[in-house]
Amino acid sequence: MEPAPAAASTVFGARLPVAARFVEHLATTAVEWGLLGPRELPRLWSRHVLNCAVLAELVPEGVAVVDLGSGAGLPGVALAVARPDLRITLVEPLERRVAWLESVVADLGLDVVVRRARAEDLHGELAAPVVTARAVAPLRRLAEWGLPLVEPGGELLAIKGRTARDELDAARPALSRLGAAGADVVECGADLLQTPTTVVRVRVAVASGRTGRRAR
């Protein structure tokens, strides 16, 4: 398994032991439960945990965050470890993954809510200033699921790869229809990671008129 790189200390600070414990779960129980493939073991820190944790650069202090399709806790658990000030709700539809997330959250001592649900089933019920996702769906479909969960004036933060700009260009008509006030592609961790994290940031108009129960 990949040792913790120097950047991990900068990203997690005093909570580095908690991050290391999360990586242990990814290397063991996540593989055993089929949430990650064994080929990912050599790059758990660089490709997965740090790639997700640097998303914290874009998240305001103390806000509620809804993480869609949390799966193996990426980015939601990594973000919760790096930023204990955030109020994070992990949304995952598959029972086995929910059970794994609940056990990991308990073991790490995180104040995180885990909900078994599909994003579209929470429309009108749950909302937060920030909604996050990684490797869930193409941007257009993700926007249909995620933007209705973003509070007016908030943002959808989607971790993407090389196709980020192409996905954004293709999704712009749908984003406008769904109430987006604007969208761009930004990088996180540029000063820390060998390969910065590419994020599509979609902003929701302030006067959207949508309502929902706030996430915690």
Residue 187 phi, psi (nearest 5): -115, 140
Indicate the average pLDDT of the chain. Answer: 94
What integer pLDDT is reported at residue 147 of this predicted model?
Answer: 96
What integer pLDDT is reported at residue 1 of this predicted model?
Answer: 72
- Give the mean model confidence (pLDDT) for residues 23-39: 96
What integer pLDDT is reported at residue 11 of this predicted model?
Answer: 97
CB 206 within 8 A of CB 182: no
- Of 196, 214, 204, residue with least CA distance to 47: 196
Report how far residue 174's alpha carbon sits from residue 180's, in angstroms, rounded to the nearest whole number. 9
The string of pLDDT tens digits covering residues 169-200 is 999 999 999 989 999 999 999 999 999 999 99
Report how far residue 78's alpha carbon sits from residue 138's, in angstroms, rounded to the nearest whole number. 22
DSSP string, 59-119: S-TT-EEEEES-TTTTTHHHHHHH-TTSEEEEEE--HHHHHHHHHHHHHHT---EEEE--G
Query: In this prediction, what percent of the chain has a pLDDT beyond 70?
Result: 97
Domain locations in the chain as residue ranges: 46-214
Q: Give 214's pLDDT tier (boundaries 50, 70, 90).
A: confident
The string of pLDDT tens digits covering residues 33-89 is 999 999 999 999 999 999 999 999 999 999 999 999 999 999 999 999 999 999 999
| CATH superfamily, region 46-214 | Vaccinia Virus protein VP39 (3.40.50.150)
- Give the mean model confidence (pLDDT) for residues 126-131: 97
CB atoms closer than 10 angstroms to residue 38: 9
Helix (H, G, I), strand (E, B) or coil at 170: helix
What integer pLDDT is reported at residue 87 of this predicted model?
Answer: 98
Strand duo 87-92 + 64-68: pairing: parallel
What integer pLDDT is reported at residue 46 of this predicted model?
Answer: 92
- Give the mean model confidence (pLDDT) for residues 137-151: 95
What integer pLDDT is reported at residue 206 of this predicted model?
Answer: 85
pLDDT at 100 over 80: yes
What integer pLDDT is reported at residue 212 of this predicted model?
Answer: 62
